[in-house]
């Protein structure tokens, strides 16, 4: 292990020195200022900015007014193909009101703080940092409503409320953040521990440490940004009132007791501690107003709101100012060293985001995008049904950019999966300065499950890369199980959920699908799938959950092949409309075709009930999905999708795919249907089925095609003629006082 440690240490030292040199060039090179987004892109009163981890996606936080702060999200920031999107969460009027600062954690979430005392009453201090997911399937997307009573509170995933007028925030690790509390005047460490999910309001998991002997003071309308040097354990922060740049040793200090949550901001917490004795040092005292701040490999940069300067400090030892960047733009706020190694800032009074470019380095290669596979920034959080690979191997494709001043003719591209041994691809070609090329890399074998892909460059033109900050990108993706042959069945008897080969995509940790041992299809087992539409006091109407089955080979499946399942559901009341859909995809989830769609009374298997529904043996129904639309396909992905109306519970069991002829079910010999397949005319022979029989012929979508009453005796025949019906599968339901039986005629004309 010793040689390995030496290699890593040497690499880290080299990278750090190169990163320092990159920042130091801003003090000697002629600089170019590029407007990235402006008021034409809906930029208004921007206060902070940060890059989503492992991406070139820039988030710009805007103060907003009483209606709440907003975001402008810039994808491919500063590169060809740049796009931007303006987003405002429906509940930012509390959770991001008068936004002052933001910070991304490595897990793809970000914390945000607000320059306001509260949104309730003049005496309340119920305000503090909020936690958000940056996933496009979550942020400003789920649970959007106009403060509807009982509905979830937008897309925020948590909030703690002990820091009004918070002016700065720094990410630590996972769900841990540092906050500059401008009301009570302290540095505070927050750990959300476990978020409550989008839109909920439980705060009991949160822990807070208040550094009571580390005073700070707020200057109205000017944020006091913060940043953590995780390697060396220094938290850099701005004390706005004293105009000082300071740093706190996060490994110093001790808990000296418990603190009591004040009545003006009462909330349940898992812990609220006082910390004293931490080491705090003054980095610099200004006569003008410091505001924005970032750290990169031994260099601290701080923006001057008063005159637009950016001061650069060497903090590898005793902090020392080594120079100043004179932007000439008064009113700048947040500042950031981007993934490209360049300095970006928000010009608050100019309503724009600006990137500062020094002279290009001679040789600088960058990976600016992972094109294939489709990846997400944070593993293992997958909120999309489109980020899976349906193959036993993947062919990575990346965008290579020449950020240097020389033509790029050769570079080593390395890539590795899940931290394993890297593979090197030697690229040769011709890229002019500023040009990009999409590069296809050799195939990587896959195993089933979640994976992380890292891609990075070295040796542009056979030399050392002078800017290592833009060399690497990483992303996560999922690989599905191999295609299965028919027949297929799943009875949900195993308590593990989802079953092997299945995947579950959802976002709400409070109401979700799970294995249930309280019921089974028609009482024949003690296991099934349950979707909880009922629990809790949040109206989750509109929530979508996706349960994806293993991939199926239907290339040789005959006409009459169906997807069958047992379902049980009761409405909460006569107007509630929880919905169940079955969809199919032949392109690995990129597009979907709806094969089955029932909701409300059509889906229900009993009368409405206001109590939590658990089905008895007679409260189930077999439903049949005609697969004619995907027959002949060698790779089909099926999905159960539920849309909640905050009604009552839904259960699914005994999922199977097979040819309907000869499918076994209770009392299958009671009656025989023939011929099958047929041209729309067929007969039903009563074997042991006797008495009054209600005969219904249904289309697979549940619509009634034909209905009649039959006085059946043993051996009797009933002729049925469906006339000029469409080809496909139908359901014949034979109901007596003893229960219902089903047959599946297939009409082929």
- Quick: pLDDT tens for 282-340: 999 999 999 999 999 899 999 999 999 999 999 999 999 999 999 999 999 999 999 99
Backbone φ/ψ region at 91: left (φ over 0), alpha (ψ -120 to 50), beta: alpha
Report the pLDDT value the prediction gives residue 17, as an integer from 0 to 100.
Answer: 53
Higher pLDDT, 741 or 241: 241
Q: Which residues pair with 733 in a beta bridge?
A: 696, 742
Q: Cα–Cα–Cα angle for 549, 558, 656, nearest 5°?
A: 30
Does residue 60 register a pLDDT over 90?
A: yes
Per-residue model confidence as pLDDT tens digits over 177-191: 999 999 999 999 999
Does residue 534 register a pLDDT over 60?
A: yes
pLDDT bracket for residue 44 (50, 70, 90): very high
Closest CA to 103 of 51, 57, 147, 155: 51
For the full predicted model, state whether its pTM sits above 0.95: no
Does residue 11 register a pLDDT over 70?
A: no
- Cα distance between residue 441 and residue 438, in whole Å: 10
Q: Cα–Cα–Cα angle for 69, 382, 97, nearest 5°?
A: 10
Q: How confident is the model over 42-68, as a mean pLDDT?
A: 95
Write out the two tokens for 720.
């049925």
Q: Which residues pair with 506 in a beta bridge?
A: none
Per-residue model confidence as pLDDT tens digits over 134-178: 999 999 999 999 999 999 999 999 999 999 999 999 999 999 999
Cα 18 to Cα 22, 415, 446, 497, 724, distances in angstroms = 6, 22, 35, 48, 77
Report the pLDDT value the prediction gives residue 665, as an integer from 0 to 100.
Answer: 39
Per-residue model confidence as pLDDT tens digits over 626-652: 898 999 999 999 999 999 999 999 999
SS3 14: helix
Residues 6 or more apart from 420 whose CB is under 8 A from it? none
pLDDT bracket for residue 669 (50, 70, 90): low
Q: Which residue has the tokens 């002078």?
A: 466
Write out the two tokens for 608.
């409405």
Q: Where in the chain is the domain with CATH 2.60.40.3080?
A: 668-747
Give the whole-number percent of the chain exceeding pLDDT 90.
78
pLDDT bracket for residue 457 (50, 70, 90): very high
Average pLDDT, the chain: 92
Output the CATH code of domain 668-747.
Answer: 2.60.40.3080
Burial of 561-580, coded b for 16+ CB within 10 Å and e otherwise, reads bbbbbbbbbbbbeeebbbbb
Residues 6 or more apart from 429 whose CB is under 8 A from it? 408, 409, 437
DSSP strand E in 386-498: where?
Answer: 388-389, 393-394, 397-402, 408-417, 423-431, 436-440, 444-445, 449-458, 472-479, 488-490
SS3 522: helix
Report the pLDDT value the prediction gives residue 609, as an integer from 0 to 100.
Answer: 96
Report the pLDDT value the prediction gives residue 172, as an integer from 0 to 100.
Answer: 98
- Cα distance between residue 594 and residue 590, in whole Å: 13
Q: What fold is seen in the domain 365-479?
A: Immunoglobulin-like (2.60.40)
Per-residue model confidence as pLDDT tens digits over 573-597: 999 999 999 999 999 999 999 999 9
Report the pLDDT value the prediction gives residue 448, as an integer from 0 to 100.
Answer: 87
Per-residue model confidence as pLDDT tens digits over 83-113: 999 999 999 999 999 999 999 999 999 999 9
- Cα distance between residue 682 and residue 685, in whole Å: 10
Q: What fold is seen in the domain 2-38+119-126+145-346+353-357?
A: Neuraminidase (2.120.10)
Please provide the distance, in angstroms rounded to a whole number, between the alpha carbons at the two ends of the chain.
Answer: 73
Higher pLDDT, 731 or 76: 76
Does residue 121 register a pLDDT over 90?
A: no
Listing DSSP states for 222-282 in one string gives B---EEEETTTTEEEEEETTTTEEEEEETT--EEEEE-PPPGGG----SEEEEEE---EEE
- Cα distance between residue 442 and residue 200, in whole Å: 45
Q: Where in the chain is the domain with CATH 2.60.40.10?
A: 365-479
Q: How confident is the model over 385-399, as a mean pLDDT?
A: 88
In the chain, the largest separation of any two C-alpha atoms, in whole Å, equals 103
Output the CATH code of domain 488-659.
Answer: 2.60.120.200
Report the pLDDT value the prediction gives residue 13, as an integer from 0 to 100.
Answer: 36
- Cα distance between residue 514 and residue 648, in whole Å: 15
Residue 678: DSSP 8-state? B
- Cα distance between residue 588 and residue 477, in whole Å: 13
């Amino acid at each position: 292990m010793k040689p390995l440690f030496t290699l890593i240490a040497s690499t880290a030292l080299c990278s750090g020195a190169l990163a320092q040199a990159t920042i130091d060039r801003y003090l000697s090179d002629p600089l170019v200022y590029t407007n990235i987004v402006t008021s034409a892109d809906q930029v208004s009163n921007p206060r902070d900015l940060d890059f989503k981890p492992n991406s070139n996606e820039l988030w710009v936080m805007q103060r907003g007014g009483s209606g709440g702060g907003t975001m402008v999200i810039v994808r491919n920031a500063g590169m060809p193909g740049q796009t931007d999107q303006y987003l405002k969460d429906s509940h930012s009027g509390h959770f991001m009101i008068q936004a002052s600062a933001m910070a991304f954690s490595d897990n793809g979430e970000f914390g945000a703080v607000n320059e306001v005392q509260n949104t309730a009453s003049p005496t309340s201090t119920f305000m503090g940092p909020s936690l958000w997911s940056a996933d496009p399937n979550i942020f400003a997307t789920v649970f959007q409503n106009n403060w509807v009573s009982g509905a979830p509170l937008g897309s925020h995933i948590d909030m703690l409320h002990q820091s009004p007028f918070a002016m700065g925030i720094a990410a630590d690790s996972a769900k841990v953040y540092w906050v500059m509390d401008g009301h009570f005047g302290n540095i505070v460490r927050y750990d959300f521990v476990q978020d409550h999910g989008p839109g909920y309001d439980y705060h009991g998991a949160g822990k807070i440490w208040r550094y009571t002997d580390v005073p700070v003071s707020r200057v109205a309308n000017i944020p006091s940004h913060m940043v953590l040097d995780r390697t060396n354990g220094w938290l850099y922060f701005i004390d706005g009132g004293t105009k000082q740049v300071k740093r706190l040793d996060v490994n110093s200090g001790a808990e000296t007791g418990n603190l009591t949550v004040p009545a003006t901001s009462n909330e349940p917490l898992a812990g609220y501690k006082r910390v004293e004795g931490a080491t705090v040092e003054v980095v610099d005292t200004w006569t003008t107003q410091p505001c924005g701040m970032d750290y990169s490999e031994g260099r601290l940069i701080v923006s001057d709101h008063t005159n637009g300067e950016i001061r650069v400090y060497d903090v590898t030892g005793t902090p020392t100012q080594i120079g100043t960047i004179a932007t000439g733009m008064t009113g700048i706020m947040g500042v950031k060293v981007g993934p490209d190694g360049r300095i970006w800032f928000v010009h608050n009074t100019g309503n724009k985001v600006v990137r500062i470019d020094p002279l290009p380095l001679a040789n600088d290669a960058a990976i600016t995008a992972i094109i294939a596979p489709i990846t997400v920034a944070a593993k293992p959080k997958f909120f999309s049904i489109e980020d899976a690979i349906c193959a036993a191997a993947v062919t990575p494709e990346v965008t290579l950019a020449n950020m240097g001043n020389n033509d790029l003719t050769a570079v080593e591209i390395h890539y590795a999966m899940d931290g394993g041994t890297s593979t090197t691809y030697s690229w040769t070609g011709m890229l002019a300065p500023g040009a990009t090329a999409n590069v296809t890399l050799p195939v990587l074998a896959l195993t089933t499950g979640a994976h992380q892909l890292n891609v990075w460059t070295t040796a542009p033109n056979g030399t050392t890369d002078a800017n290592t900050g833009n060399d690497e990108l990483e992303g996560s993706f999922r690989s599905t199980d191999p295609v299965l042959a028919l027949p297929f069945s799943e009875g949900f008897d195993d308590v593990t959920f989802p079953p092997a080969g299945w995947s579950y995509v959802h976002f709400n940790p409070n109401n979700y699908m799970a294995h249930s041992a309280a019921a089974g299809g028609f009482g024949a087992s003690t296991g099934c799938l349950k979707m909880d539409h009922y629990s809790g006091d949040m109206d989750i109407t509109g929530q979508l959950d996706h349960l994806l089955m293993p991939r199926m080979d239907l290339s040789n499946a005959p006409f009459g092949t169906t997807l069958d399942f047992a379902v049980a559901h009761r409405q909460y009341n006569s107007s509630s409309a929880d919905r169940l859909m079955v969809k199919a995809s032949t392109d690995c989830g990129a597009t979907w075709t709806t094969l089955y769609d029932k909701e409300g009374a059509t889906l229900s298997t009993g009368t409405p009930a206001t109590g939590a529904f658990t089905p008895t043996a007679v409260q189930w129904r077999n439903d049949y999905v005609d697969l004619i639309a995907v027959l002949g396909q060698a790779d089909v992905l099926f999905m159960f999708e539920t849309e909640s109306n905050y009604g009552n519970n839904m259960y699914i069991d005994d999922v199977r795919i097979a040819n309907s002829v000869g499918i076994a079910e209770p009392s299958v010999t009671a009656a025989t249907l023939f011929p099958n397949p047929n041209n729309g005319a067929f007969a039903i022979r009563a074997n042991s089925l006797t008495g009054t029989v209600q005969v219904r012929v249904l289309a697979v979508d549940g619509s009634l095609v034909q209905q009649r009453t039959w006085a059946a005796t043993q051996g009797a025949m009933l002729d049925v003629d469906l006339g000029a019906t469409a080809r496909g599968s139908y359901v014949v339901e034979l109901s007596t006082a003893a229960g219902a039986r089903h047959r599946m005629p297939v009409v082929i004309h």
